Amino acid sequence: MKYALFPKVILLASVFIASNAAFSSGANSNKAISKGIGNILGKKKYDKNTLTPEQLEQCILLERSIERSNTELKKEREILQAEEKSVLQYKEKVLAEKKTIDLSDKDTVAGFNKSVEEYNARREKYNAAADKYRKLSDEQRKMNRGYNEQCASKGYYEEDRKAAEIKLKK
């Protein structure tokens, strides 16, 4: 009879651990979420570490914005890299021309000046792409910072997430 208490303690501990482990927090765990410990008794407990349904909706919208921003940032990075390659290749061409230019020949000098103008135009295009990429990158950092502060370290209930997903699809 003195061992009868032991299985009940293990059972109670395993229910507590399983329920607590099912409660999810963080951005990377949002796909594997469950009811949370407060829901064992049919009550949800929201506190500073648990997102309300409204807060969860805002976090989901922020996640989606970050995903769209990641896609746009990747596209702009590819454009920037292509512009950089173009500038560097043309720079090599201009430097090679500079070594062989005959300063006494007006036509050669005029051709070289056109090459320099083309190089400068490519630099301007690169600088515009770099500015756009920097702006998008700054916006991305701001969104990530907001998500980390407001959402990533908080827990939430599975049914709240599912309800928010359904609501946001409408």
At 46-90, the pLDDT tens digits run: 899 999 999 999 999 999 999 999 999 999 999 999 999 999 999
Q: List all residues 6 or more positions away from 19 whose beta carbon is below 8 Å from its beta carbon.
A: 35, 36, 37, 40
Which tens digits make up the pLDDT trace of 134-156? 999 999 999 999 999 999 989 99
Least confident of 12-16, 96-100, 158-162: 12-16
Q: Count Cβ atoms below 10 Å from residue 7 Cβ, excluding itself.
A: 9
Do residues 101 and 51 touch, judged by C-beta distance below 8 A? no
Segment 106-119, tens digit of pLDDT: 999 999 999 999 99
Cβ proximity of 130 and 151 under 8 Å: no
Range of the domain at 26: 5-169
pTM comes to 0.65
Please state the domain count of the chain. 1
